[in-house]
Amino acid sequence: MGYLRLRDVIKSYDGRTNAVDGVNIAIERGEFVTLLGPSGSGKTTTLMMIAGFEHPTSGTIELAGENLTERKPYQRNIGMVFQNYALFPHMTALKNVTFPLRMRHFPRDEIEGRAQKMLDLVGLGRFAARYPRELSGGQQQRVALARGLVFNPDVLLLDEPLGALDKNLREQMQVEIKRIHREVGITMIYVTHDQTEAMTMSDRVAVFRDGRIEQLGSPLEVYDRPANRFVAEFIGDSNFFPGRAEPGRPGVVELEKIGPVRVGQDAIASAAAAGAVDVMIRPERLRLAPATDADNAFDMLVEDAINYGDSILVIGATHGLPLRARLVGHSPDKLQRGATLRLSWSPADARVLASEMKTSTQGQSHA
């Protein structure tokens, strides 16, 4: 059933266009679920409806079997952490954390000790007397996190909480949030457009587009087995080769300009069993092929190479189609512009998806 459940949730601001368009999701107690998608995809609106700051046009929101849909935000035992921290500038860190306890009328003799314990949890115990202006951005975000957790909420919502931090601080806070999630065991719902955050922090990821969930699964599932081309393009770097799949040739796809290639049967999405398809290969799945290796091999004309230290991203083309390969353990001297590389990939490393044109045509026929 799910601990937190959204059933057919729709949100429209103008009565014509749905910002959230029929979202169904069940989240288990203690899960860390990330709502991932581009700006305007509906992820933050969905979060605001869970918090009670927005009201669904239709559908229901349930928590532990109780209907929350009509409840005001203060009637829901849900914590919230915002991107801009939303700390009270005239209050110390400790006072900011005690605020939700006082609003909920916790026993007075428990409030300060409880808040101090939560500041200790986020590593800010010795900064309790400091004001927000005396704290770094990462420290302010930790105070906001402590404030969202201190009253033992049923669910903690985080709306792009690391967006204002620099890269190093973001990575540190990702580790901290996951540590706190493990220690506290609370259900967390995290909104971001940053795929790295989603992949490193989540138990499951819900990929949003145009108000709908395109795919819901573990980080590895949405990366290795994307449901469609949108998910494959949004999460990670990908190569796409147009082709056709024929029911009479299982495990073989005829690629345009390249010819037949072998693919694993379990790599074929159900919508791509026949007709126009796109074969997806991640750049890191390509390898330099020995002269005797005929396993889905083709030549790549090198146009550029970017050295990342631990790997080299080679950019070029094969048969006029753009191609990117991430190679490890190779000298950049041999990957100069104009060089020709023989590359190959394993059938198990492909993902066969229905082409976007085919999907679009099917959607129109059902409209």
* Under 8 Å between Cβ of 352 and 274: no
Looking at the structure, tell me whether residues 250 and 170 fall in a common domain.
Answer: no
Looking at the structure, tell me whether residues 197 and 256 fall in a common domain.
Answer: no
Looking at the structure, tell me whether residues 164 and 263 fall in a common domain.
Answer: no
- Note the Cα 198 to chain centre separation in Å: 4
Q: Tell me what pLDDT residue 207 has.
A: 97
Look at the block and give the residue holding tokens 């959230």.
20
Tell me which residue of 97, 105, 123, 121 sits closest to 186, measured CA to CA: 121
Helix 108-121 × helix 93-103 angle, to 10°: 130
pLDDT average, residue stretch 326-330: 86
Looking at the structure, tell me whether residues 219 and 252 fall in a common domain.
Answer: no
Looking at the structure, tell me whether residues 357 and 321 fall in a common domain.
Answer: yes
- When mean pLDDT is compared over 41-55, 242-256, 332-346, the highest value belongs to 41-55
Q: How do residues 264-312 score in pLDDT, each as one tens digit?
A: 877 777 666 678 899 999 999 999 887 655 578 889 999 999 988 889 9
Domain total in the chain: 2
Q: Tell me what pLDDT residue 67 has.
A: 96
Strands (E), 224-330: 239-245, 252-255, 259-262, 275-281, 287-288, 298-307, 312-318, 321-327
**What residue type is assigned to position 108 of the chain?**
R
Looking at the structure, tell me whether residues 356 and 245 fall in a common domain.
Answer: yes
Kindly tell me if the per-residue pLDDT of 178 is higher than 80: yes
Looking at the structure, tell me whether residues 272 and 182 fall in a common domain.
Answer: no
* Under 8 Å between Cβ of 214 and 230: yes
The rounded mean pLDDT for the chain is 90
Q: Tell me what pLDDT residue 355 has.
A: 84
pLDDT average, residue stretch 140-153: 94
Is 302 part of a structural domain of the chain?
A: yes
Looking at the structure, tell me whether residues 294 and 334 fall in a common domain.
Answer: yes
Q: Tell me what pLDDT residue 361 has.
A: 44
Q: Tell me what pLDDT residue 272 has.
A: 62
Is 96 part of a structural domain of the chain?
A: yes
Is 199 part of a structural domain of the chain?
A: yes
Rounded to whole angstroms, how far apart are CA atoms 31 and 204? 8
Looking at the structure, tell me whether residues 173 and 287 fall in a common domain.
Answer: no
**What residue type is assigned to position 287 of the chain?**
R
**What residue type is assigned to position 78 of the chain?**
I
Q: Using the 3D structure, point to which of 198, 224, 250 is the last residue of a domain.
A: 224
Rounded to whole angstroms, how far apart are CA atoms 96 and 258? 62
Q: Tell me what pLDDT residue 294 has.
A: 58
CATH of the domain at 333: 2.40.50.140
Q: How do residues 67-87 score in pLDDT, each as one tens digit?
A: 999 999 999 999 999 888 889
Choice among 47-51, 94-98, 260-264 with the minimum mean pLDDT = 260-264
Looking at the structure, tell me whether residues 244 and 219 fall in a common domain.
Answer: no
pLDDT average, residue stretch 42-56: 96
What Cα–Cα distance (Å) separates residue 107 from each residue in 103, 113, 114?
11, 11, 10
Kindly tell me if the per-residue pLDDT of 230 is higher than 90: yes
Task: Render 123-173 in DSSP notation, one character per residue.
Answer: T-GGGTT--GGGS-HHHHHHHHHHHHHTT--SEEEEESTTTTS-HHHHHHH
Looking at the structure, tell me whether residues 14 and 151 fall in a common domain.
Answer: yes
CATH of the domain at 127: 3.40.50.300
Q: Tell me what pLDDT residue 366 has.
A: 36
Is 256 part of a structural domain of the chain?
A: yes
Is 310 part of a structural domain of the chain?
A: yes
Is 229 part of a structural domain of the chain?
A: no
Kindly tell me if the per-residue pLDDT of 360 is higher than 50: no
**In 3-state terms, what secondary structure has residue 360?**
helix
Kindly tell me if the per-residue pLDDT of 248 is higher than 60: yes
Sheet holding 340-344, edge to edge: 287-288, 340-344, 298-307, 312-318, 321-327
Looking at the structure, tell me whether residues 194 and 53 fall in a common domain.
Answer: yes
Rounded to whole angstroms, how far apart are CA atoms 54 and 42? 12
Is 232 part of a structural domain of the chain?
A: no
For residue 120, the enclosing domain spans 4-224
pLDDT average, residue stretch 321-339: 86
Length of the chain: 367
| pTM over the 0.85 mark | yes
